[in-house]
Structure 1
Amino acid sequence: MLEWIRFAIVVSAMIIAASVLLRSSSIGMGWLPLVALLRAAVQLGAVSLLLGGVATAPWTAVLFVVLMFSTASLTTARRARELPRGRLATVAGTIVGAGTAITVILGTGLVGLIPQSVIAVAGIVIGGCMTVATLSSRHYLAGVRARRDEVEAWLSLGAHPWEAVDLPRREAVREALIPNLDQTKSTGLVTLPGAFVGALFGGATALEAAQFQLIVLAGLAFGGTITALLTTRIASRSSVLPADPA
């Protein structure tokens, strides 16, 4: 009981402090960190209950993966509402990118078709691709806005929309992938990712945990690259330029 009380106090103190610091600095995020953590707590509680039934009903793992895809799609679509064709671009990018990477990992037998393993791999890859879709769409939006005069000049010369926005599109892909690739480069020296630590806690040897982590990192790089390229490619096909912020 004492452990739970200490857990609640420390976690609450950290997240409230983060929210207060943001509000006092006039960042404009309100109580978002606190709201996000409360939402995460509710969702993790529900997930814990659902995972308890996976062992007795393995088919529920498929439903859980579908739920993760749906939630990720809704999240990215909401973030891309200012971008013409943004919702379609981010949803397609997330589903195709994550789906391709997960299919390769599971289809080649790198990870066994054990419900818990499937959910773990799918959750990490889908989450990573969701982040890449959001970053690529937002960087693309900012890039096109910043280069509006240049883009309009290319269009006036008869260039196709995707040709006129090629430079901000490529910059958006690069910026969206850098955070994940930087984390990959620093793995083992600066960070110990959750997949590695989780595998160790689950009873795997250090070598097995490292192998699992490398599979996940490769899947994130592969799926994220597809996501960023497809998201920006679909967005660049729009003949309508994004409006300037009000």
Structure 2
Amino acid sequence: MIDSPLFDPALMRGLEQVAAALVLAAVVVGIVSLRGLALEREWGLAIGRGFVQIMLMGSVIALLLSVPVAASAFVILGMMLGGAWIAHSRAGEIPGAFRIATAGIVLGAGVVIVVMTAVGAIEARVRDLVPVGSMIVANGMKASSLALDRFGDEVETHREEIEATLALGVTPSRAIARHVERGVRAALIPTVDSMRSLGWVWIPGLMTGMILSGEDPIYAAEYQFVVMAMIFAAAGLASLTCGALVERYAFTDAHQLRSFHGES
């Protein structure tokens, strides 16, 4: 009989579940292809990439469980830089998009992780820091991506209006204030909607997992809210940071609106 961690019953059961999930995802991609929506390549690559990345991360975490907790800082920093690259790819036409996204994610997610670890909401262990930190970083990334994407659309749509406003002597910050505000608001819509529906429309996976593992449902609810509040704070700080930095890169020293087709 083969005795190997690779043939652990739990892992084999997980592979069966992965196969079932992939079949469902493949059906959706197939329908998209049949309808000619031209999204099957992007969606298919995203699903495949997501599977490979999450399996690699599981393997990395398994290895990190035996190393000092300080190693988790490097893992989280890598997540932040990866998140900034993904956010930049969605808003690459904005000058300095990668630098803006990096600052937003590092500040937004970094502050939340440090503060909540200091107060004990996140245990200072690799087992806790990396998974919880990844959720916070991912939501900081989403907020940065949405804020930059919306801001780019706003500027391209209202470029003539902004330039006319600048010609009247209005400062750059005032000329784009309304558009930055719309970007920040758009970035926070998913997080705000999640908070509104928490415990009513949906029970998040973390709370469900804690209850299934035997934790007290009330404590599971409390901790789930803590996590959602951390996600909200990270997303808010990230989007606000991106909004604050956009002006620096969107205008020249002569207060002229830059072309959004340069380097990012």
TM-score by length of 2: 0.84
Q: Could you tell me which amino acid in structure 1 is paired with residue 64 of structure 2?
A: V
Alignment partner, residue 243 of structure 2: 232
2:91 aligned to which of 52, 59, 80: 80
Alignment partner, residue 193 of structure 1: 204
Matched, 1:148 2:188: no
Cα pair 2:80 2:102 within 8 Å, conserved: no
RMSD: 2.1
Q: Secondary structure at the match of 2:64?
A: coil
Deviations 1:122-149 (A, max 9, x none): 0110000100000000011111122222
Q: 2 CA distance for matches of 1:236 and 1:15?
A: 40
Percent of aligned positions that are identical: 21
Alignment partner, residue 16 of structure 1: 26
Q: 2 CA distance for matches of 1:111 and 1:5?
A: 30
2:59 aligned to which of 49, 54, 78: 49
Kindly state the Cα deviation for residue 20 of structure 1 after the two structures are TM-superposed. Answer: 2.2
| Gap regions ≥5 residues in structure 2 | 1-8, 252-256
Deviations 1:174-207 (A, max 9, x none): 1110111101110111112122223334442212
1:58 aligned to which of 43, 59, 68: 68
Larger-Rg structure: 2
| Gap regions ≥5 residues in structure 1 | none
Q: 2 CA distance for matches of 1:163 and 1:106?
A: 38
Q: 2 CA distance for matches of 1:236 and 1:198?
A: 43
Return structure 1 stretches of 4+ with deviation > 6 angstroms: none
Cα pair 1:94 1:129 within 8 Å, conserved: yes
Cα pair 1:140 1:169 within 8 Å, conserved: yes
Alignment partner, residue 111 of structure 1: 122
> For residues 53 and 231 of structure 1, do their structure 2 counterparts lie closer, same or farther at Cα, with a shift above 3 Å needed?
same
TM-score by length of 1: 0.90
Alignment partner, residue 100 of structure 2: 89
> For residues 74 and 131 of structure 1, do their structure 2 counterparts lie closer, same or farther at Cα, with a shift above 3 Å needed?
same
Q: 2 CA distance for matches of 1:30 and 1:236?
A: 36
Q: 2 CA distance for matches of 1:54 and 1:243?
A: 41
Q: Secondary structure at the match of 1:232?
A: helix
Deviations 1:90-146 (A, max 9, x none): 111111111111111111222221221111220110000100000000011111122
> For residues 3 and 219 of structure 1, do their structure 2 counterparts lie closer, same or farther at Cα, with a shift above 3 Å needed?
closer
Aligned length: 244
Q: Could you tell me which amino acid in structure 2 is paired with residue 44 of structure 1?
A: I
Alignment partner, residue 50 of structure 2: 40
Cα pair 1:23 1:29 within 8 Å, conserved: yes
Cα pair 1:18 1:33 within 8 Å, conserved: no
Matched, 1:138 2:152: no
